[in-house]
């Protein structure tokens, strides 16, 4: 619970003044283990890590600064940027009165924006038109809500672009997909696979959908990380987005739309978090280094605090996000647990022995490794450590993800792999009816399997390979699995 | 209309190839004059300046990048930061189904946030708690909607803070008010008066409200620029925001809330805009300098374009936001009008003569003044010019605002000044019933008068001064007027 509740350790009072209450390490840990009870672990860690508060409207959550800062970091770093069944939320009343006409809350902005695209685009010189907005959308879903992963209101960016030619549109689809890959892999340290959605899974309004797919080993479910759609000319037909090309002829614009959401934060939590709490990659952590003074009796307490302050200043001047936890009503041990819960990548401890040796002790959040660092070369070593942690998180996550991938050729192998909660790579005949059939046949307690994506990087298909499900000639390799 | 519509100037064709269509200065100006038809002028300039598109939901507007960039600039520059009758919008349906419980869209966030403040604040060490969020809110108003000034959905920041003592709260109220003053005066070049709202006009939920009040000379109406409220302990009582103080006693937190909205952009437009269109202060303009090549027949056209490109590069390297309008299908004259409409503070023209003399011609948007600048000292001179324009806009706006202020002592003087659309400074007995009476007596075609604020800087009240409305002894000077 945020703030640690009211648990105090009371010192023995022998009259006189009130002794200072110092909170020790009580009641701070998670009660659920990630590998044993993943769903409960997740619900608990996002609250204990102070990212989320639950709210009395189902599917809506309070996003706290510890998570918002990650969202804002991603916004800064990237300066460029569905046949979803909209359960559209309708406003029908204001105060006590009924509205004359009910008003929809945007689940996405195509229908709001494209009439204006039609107005703004007249000639080829008005193209390309590229707009991106960061905003909130509402989709009144009825599937299991999960903080960040699936909520009824969420934050996102939605890019909507229009081009004179299909090839420009195709190029941008892949450029944006690459940006999304980099957000996941280089910032969130989460491995993803670039792929194309099947006809059944693509955005129904568009021509084709590309995606970056992640996988959550603890639940054996794939999760769509972000999508970059080519809308073709479907919307320009519908909204009359017509321009005069260089030859003076009327032509319809080619459009794309692309988005990623606060789901990214949930994926990061699920992939890296552990039983001590959140684990934040340095590249998105708002606090990268937490400095904890470790006084011992009366041994130069002021000197220790001064060294901590100086350390924070030195690191901050070098562009590292460092803070000191100088609160005197919490013990060092309590602070260790607290900042581990919040996932801060690196902890620095300074006690009397460290002070005497002009060094600090650095402790990594990801693997618990401890190392003593001389204060003289602190900035370089800390930068190295943060880079190592970032790299290490990614490598570990990729290893875990890769271990989940199973290549199959037959239906029996497929079912067995599904039971083992794998991300399954199988040769497929690429027919929609076959995909529907797979979904129907695998429905059950454990959820139905579907295509996650067809990887852009296709392994070779040996001559004569048959589809794992239909037995017809296989056309492409596809990833299948259960999914969020 | 955005994009200039389809008006083309057709060159005389004498067979052979299609001559290039170059848009000349047709149909670009505003049809309404600010001083003659302010309401229509305003509606037109925000569209022609490409800030707004009208939308088919009354009171909702599309905010385009030219305005969003100003909002974002203000967000970056400031990193810290209602008895409103909520016409709360209610969501009652999703898709085709009724919701079990109707859900309100936030008109402001107190009732969402403060139950969590109660949870997060336990002891004095949890204070002060300071949170700020930038978001959108909905108030389904029925008064005249006006882009930016009064819309049913708008963007804002809302700060909500909690302290252990009233004096900390009081201090912050004024610190924030000073930030708001600076946003208006130093960024938007709009003069404001810091003041306290009357008991009738303050945020009904709070203890007292401070405000920065602006005035729109063209309509003779005051406009509330931003508010910084001390909520006292009203909300901590209601939401049980209780903490244990240093003596171990239970105490209620002292709270503030403060906000400013996209209304700021509307005030900026109304104060500085003219009959040629928008006028943007350099400190918020996303394009500060527009460079226009002015080719003449065949005189070294490439050289002119190269000089323009080099100029933009030089200015950008120095941190000035410069762009070049190199479109070859618009004449220089068209471009002058277009960028004037969009309010760009400075224009640079480079033609053959300028090239030959190694200089550029700079033209100010605010006063039309032209000056030739040697390319060698361009950056310094442009920086000086931009600072002069910023200063000049403020001084001119302040002069116009000051000319609207009328000091009165009697009811007759008051009524006359109201008829002259003034911002009236009058001695008042500070009684709520008297204020209500003034409102009732001045209701009519031209709208009722009310207190705008009681200025924090109070002129002296000579002994024996009587209230202008009630004849009782005057307690304070107050600004009165019609308002938005």
Interface of A with B in 231-260 (CB under 8 A): 248
Give the integer Cα–Cα distance in Å for A478 and A211. 13
Q: How far is A115 from chain B (nearest CA, A)?
A: 10
Q: 3-state DSSP: chain A helix, strand, coil percent, rounded to 5?
A: 35, 30, 40
A60, A65, A91, A123: best to mutate for the B interface, most B CBs within 10 A = A91
Confidence band for B16, pLDDT divided at 50, 70 and 90? very low
Query: Strand, helix or coil at B62?
Result: strand
Chain centre distance of CA A75: 13
Give the integer Cα–Cα distance in Å for B373 and B359. 5
Residue range B277-299: average pLDDT?
93
Q: Which residue has the tokens 């392994």?
A: A459
Query: Strand, helix or coil at B324?
Result: strand
Q: What pLDDT score was predicted for residue B27?
A: 54
Interface of B with A in 282-301 (CB under 8 A): none
Contact list in B for residue A327 (CB cut-off 8 A) is 125
Q: What pLDDT score was predicted for residue A27?
A: 54
Percent above pLDDT 90 for chain A: 69
Residue range A282-299: average pLDDT?
93
Percent above pLDDT 70 for chain B: 92
**Burial grade of A131 (CB within 10 A; 0-12, 13-18, 19 or more):** middle
- Report yes or no: A425 and A418 within 8 Å, Cβ to Cβ: no
- pTM for the model stands at 0.88
Dig out the tokens for A453 from the structure.
């994506």
B4, B75, B79, B94: best to mutate for the A interface, most A CBs within 10 A = B94
Measure CB to CB from residue A92 to each of B53, B93, B116 and give the nearest one.
B93
**A222 CB neighbour count, 10 Å cutoff:** 25
Q: What pLDDT score was predicted for residue A67?
A: 82
Contact list in B for residue A6 (CB cut-off 8 A) is 122
**A414 CB neighbour count, 10 Å cutoff:** 22
CB contact under 8 A, A95 and B102: no
Confidence band for A22, pLDDT divided at 50, 70 and 90? low
- Report yes or no: B222 and B211 within 8 Å, Cβ to Cβ: no
| Full strand arrangement of the beta sheet holding A97-104 | A97-104, A89-94, B89-94, B97-104
Confidence band for B422, pLDDT divided at 50, 70 and 90? very high
**Closest alpha carbon within chain A to B131:** A65
DSSP element (H, E) containing B398? helix B378-404
Give the integer Cα–Cα distance in Å for B81 and B478. 27
Residue range B95-108: average pLDDT?
86
Lowest mean per-residue pLDDT among A271-275, A452-456, B346-350, B473-477 = A271-275
Phi-psi region for residue B393, left (φ > 0), alpha (ψ -120 to 50) or beta? Answer: alpha
Rg over CA atoms, chain A: 26
Residue range A77-93: average pLDDT?
56
| Residue B345 pLDDT > 70 | yes
Give the integer Cα–Cα distance in Å for A316 and A322. 6
Dig out the tokens for A465 from the structure.
């390979």
Phi-psi region for residue A232, left (φ > 0), alpha (ψ -120 to 50) or beta? Answer: left
| Residue B472 pLDDT > 90 | yes
Phi/psi at A256 (5° precision): -125, 155
Q: Per residue in B112-122, is it b (16+ CB within 10 Å) or e — as a string?
A: ebbbbbbebbb
pLDDT digits (tens, 9 = 90+) for B378-406: 999 999 999 999 999 999 999 999 999 99
Contact list in A for residue B3 (CB cut-off 8 A) is 119-120, 122, 126
B11 or B249, greater pLDDT: B249
pLDDT digits (tens, 9 = 90+) for B132-179: 999 999 988 877 788 899 888 999 999 999 999 999 999 999 999 999
Q: What pLDDT score was predicted for residue B28?
A: 62
Nearest to A177 by CA among A240, A244, A230: A230
Confidence band for A41, pLDDT divided at 50, 70 and 90? confident
Give the integer Cα–Cα distance in Å for A64 and A262. 12
| Residue B298 pLDDT > 90 | no
pLDDT digits (tens, 9 = 90+) for B44-58: 888 888 888 887 677
- Report yes or no: A362 and A373 within 8 Å, Cβ to Cβ: yes
A125 touches B at CB < 8 Å: yes
DSSP element (H, E) containing A166? helix A166-182
DSSP β-bridge partners for residue B208 = B230
CB contact under 8 A, A18 and B95: no
DSSP, residue by residue, B227-279: EEEEEETHHHHHHT-EEE-TTS-EEEPEEEEEEEETHHHHHHHHHH-BTTB--
User: To the nearest 10°, the Cα dihedral for A232, A237, A240, A244?
Assistant: 60
Nearest to B348 by CA among B394, B297, B307: B307
Confidence band for B35, pLDDT divided at 50, 70 and 90? confident
Q: What pLDDT score was predicted for residue B151?
A: 87
Interface of A with B in 327-346 (CB under 8 A): 327, 329
Give the integer Cα–Cα distance in Å for A117 and A122. 9
| Residue A114 pLDDT > 50 | yes
Dig out the tokens for A320 from the structure.
């590292």
B261 or B145, greater pLDDT: B261
Give the integer Cα–Cα distance in Å for B265 and B244. 43
Q: 3-state DSSP: chain B helix, strand, coil percent, rounded to 5?
A: 35, 30, 40
Give the integer Cα–Cα distance in Å for A438 and A450. 7
Give the integer Cα–Cα distance in Å for A49 and A30. 10
Distances (CA, A) of A17 to A12, A20, B247: 12, 9, 11
**B74 CB neighbour count, 10 Å cutoff:** 20
Dig out the tokens for B446 from the structure.
């031209």
| Residue A1 pLDDT > 50 | no
Q: How far is A326 from chain B (nearest CA, A)?
A: 12
CB contact under 8 A, B18 and A248: yes
Q: How far is B119 from chain A (nearest CA, A)?
A: 8
Phi/psi at A200 (5° precision): -75, -35
B27 touches A at CB < 8 Å: no
Q: What is the mean pLDDT of chain B?
A: 89
Q: How far is B327 from chain A (nearest CA, A)?
A: 9
Give the integer Cα–Cα distance in Å for B239 and B235. 6
pLDDT digits (tens, 9 = 90+) for A443-474: 976 679 999 999 999 999 999 999 999 999 99
Measure CB to CB from residue A122 to each of B3, B92, B131 and give the nearest one.
B3
A93 touches B at CB < 8 Å: yes
Q: Where are the alpha helices (DSSP H) in A25-165?
A: 38-48, 65-77, 110-120
Phi/psi at A140 (5° precision): -80, 75
**Burial grade of B468 (CB within 10 A; 0-12, 13-18, 19 or more):** buried
Q: How far is B278 from chain A (nearest CA, A)?
A: 20
A57 touches B at CB < 8 Å: yes
Confidence band for A8, pLDDT divided at 50, 70 and 90? very low
Confidence band for A343, pLDDT divided at 50, 70 and 90? very high
| Residue A12 pLDDT > 70 | no
Dig out the tokens for A381 from the structure.
């070593």
Give the integer Cα–Cα distance in Å for B209 and B196. 6
């Amino acid at each position: 619970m945020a703030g640690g509740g009211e648990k105090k350790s009371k010192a023995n009072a022998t009259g006189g003044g009130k002794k200072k209450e110092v909170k020790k390490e009580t009641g701070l840990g998670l009660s659920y283990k990630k590998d044993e009870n993943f769903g409960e672990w997740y619900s608990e860690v996002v609250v204990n890590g102070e990212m989320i508060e639950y709210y009395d409207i189902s599917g809506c959550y309070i996003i706290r600064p510890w998570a918002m800062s990650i969202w804002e970091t991603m916004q800064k770093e990237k300066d460029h940027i569905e046949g979803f069944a909209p359960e559209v939320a309708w406003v029908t009343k204001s105060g006590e009165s009924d509205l004359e006409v009910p008003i929809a809350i945007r689940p996405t902005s195509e229908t709001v924006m494209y009439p204006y695209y039609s107005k703004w685009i007249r000639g080829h010189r008005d193209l390309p038109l590229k707009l991106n907005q960061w905003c909130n959308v509402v989709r009144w879903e009825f599937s299991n809500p999960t903080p960040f992963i699936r909520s009824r209101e969420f934050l996102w960016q939605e890019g909507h672009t229009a081009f004179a030619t299909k090839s420009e549109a195709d190029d941008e689809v892949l450029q944006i997909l690459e940006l999304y890959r980099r957000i996941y892999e280089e910032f969130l340290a989460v491995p993803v696979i670039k792929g194309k959605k099947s006809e059944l899974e693509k955005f129904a309004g568009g021509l084709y959908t590309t995606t970056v797919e992640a996988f959550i080993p603890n639940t054996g479910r794939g999760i769509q990380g972000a999508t970059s759609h080519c809308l073709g000319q479907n919307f320009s037909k519908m909204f009359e987005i017509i321009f005069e090309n260089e030859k003076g002829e009327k032509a319809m614009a080619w459009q794309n739309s692309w988005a990623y959401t606060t789901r990214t934060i949930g994926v990061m939590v699920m992939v890296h978090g552990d039983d001590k709490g959140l684990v934040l990659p340095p590249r998105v952590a708002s606090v990268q280094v937490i400095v904890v003074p470790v006084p011992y009796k009366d041994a130069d307490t002021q000197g220790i605090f001064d060294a901590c302050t100086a350390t924070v200043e030195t690191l901050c001047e070098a562009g590292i996000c460092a803070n000191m936890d100088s609160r005197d009503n919490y013990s060092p041990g309590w602070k260790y647990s607290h900042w581990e819960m919040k996932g801060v990548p690196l902890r620095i401890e300074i006690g009397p022995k460290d002070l005497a040796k002009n060094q600090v002790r650095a402790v990594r959040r990801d693997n618990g490794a401890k190392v003593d660092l001389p204060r003289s070369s602190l900035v370089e070593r800390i930068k190295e450590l943060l880079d190592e942690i970032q790299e290490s998180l990614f490598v570990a996550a990729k290893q875990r993800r890769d271990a989940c991938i199973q290549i199959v050729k037959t239906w029996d192998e497929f079912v067995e792999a599904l039971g083992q909660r794998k991300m399954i790579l199988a040769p497929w005949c690429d027919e929609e009816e076959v995909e529907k059939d797979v979904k129907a046949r695998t429905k059950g307690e454990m959820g139905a399997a579907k295509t996650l994506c067809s990887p852009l990087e296709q392994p070779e298909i040996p001559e004569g390979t048959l589809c794992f499900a239909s037995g017809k000639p296989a056309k492409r390799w596809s990833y299948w699995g259960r999914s969020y």
